[in-house]
Amino acid sequence: MKKIKLGVILFSFFISLSTFAGAANPANGKAVKEGYEIGDKLPNIVAKSIAGNDIKLSSLEGKLVLVDFWASWCPPCRAENPRMVEAYDKFKNQNFKNGKGFTIYSFSLDTKQANWKAAVAKDKLSWDYHVSELKGWHSPTSNKFGIRSIPSNFLIDGDGIILAKNLRGEKLELILQYYQKK
């Protein structure tokens, strides 16, 4: 059953990848379009961490990164967290075809620092990259990214190219497996 699902996902990947193969290949030195669709380069994010430091998404270049939009007040997001923790632990030190290591860049649509911090601790989201503008749905970054529903996420490769979007449930792990260097 898992194999069939993986097959379906891979198939849709090949279609999307082949469409963009020409345009979005930084190895060829060609310009890559910034955008929010598979094959585009995801625009950079700069936002404050819980401690108040700027964290740039671009600082994670080279790794596979799941850019996740969530909030402590979003039960469906919280329900996804155990799977993300599992995927992070399993894949953080793995090598991929298009990135060395895997991590998560969590952008929170919280408005209250305390709630955000508590949820990160409670759900044991152990990665270092937690940011927020503490403006809820009116956060400039999530607005710019067109985020109107959460959970929403983007998986990007070491060059920041979007490999997949909105990975929920087992899909995240299946796709990481696919890109893993064996």
Partner 1 sequence: MSTFEIIGGKSLKGELTPQGAKNEALQILCATLLTPEKVTIHNIPNILDVNKLIELLSELGVNVSQESTNTYSFEAKNINLDYLNSPEFASKGSSLRGSIMIIGPLLARFGKGYIPRPGGDKIGRRRLDTHFLGFQKLGAKFNFNPNENFYRVEASELKGCYLLLDEASVTGTANIIMAAVMAKGTTTIYNAACEPYIQQLCKMLLSMGAKISGVGSNLLSIEGVSYLGGCEHRVLPDMIEIGSFIGLAVMTKSEITIKNVAYNELGMIPSAFKRLGVKMELRGDDIYIPRHENYEIETFIDGSILTVADAPWPGLTPDLLSVFLVVATQAKGSVLIHQKMFESRLFFTDKLIDMGAQIILCDPHRATVIGLNQSQGLRPTTMVSPDIRAGVALLIAALSADGKSTIHNIDQIDRGYENIDLRLNAIGASIKRISN
The residue ranges that bind partner 1 (CB under 8 A) are: 12, 16, 71, 73-77, 79, 137-138, 140, 143, 146-152, 165-166, 168-169
Nearer to partner 1, 86 or 128 (CB): 86
Residues 182 and 177: their CA atoms lie apart, in Å, by 9
Contact 127, 106 (CB under 8 A): yes
Least separation in angstroms between residue 93's CB and partner 1 is: 29
**Of the candidates 49, 75, 98, 70, the residue with the CA atom closest to the CA atom of residue 154:** 70
Nearer to partner 1, 24 or 71 (CB): 71
Residues 84 and 13: their CA atoms lie apart, in Å, by 21
Least separation in angstroms between residue 152's CB and partner 1 is: 5
Nearer to partner 1, 7 or 140 (CB): 140
Least separation in angstroms between residue 135's CB and partner 1 is: 10
Helix (H), strand (E) at residue 9 = helix 2-20
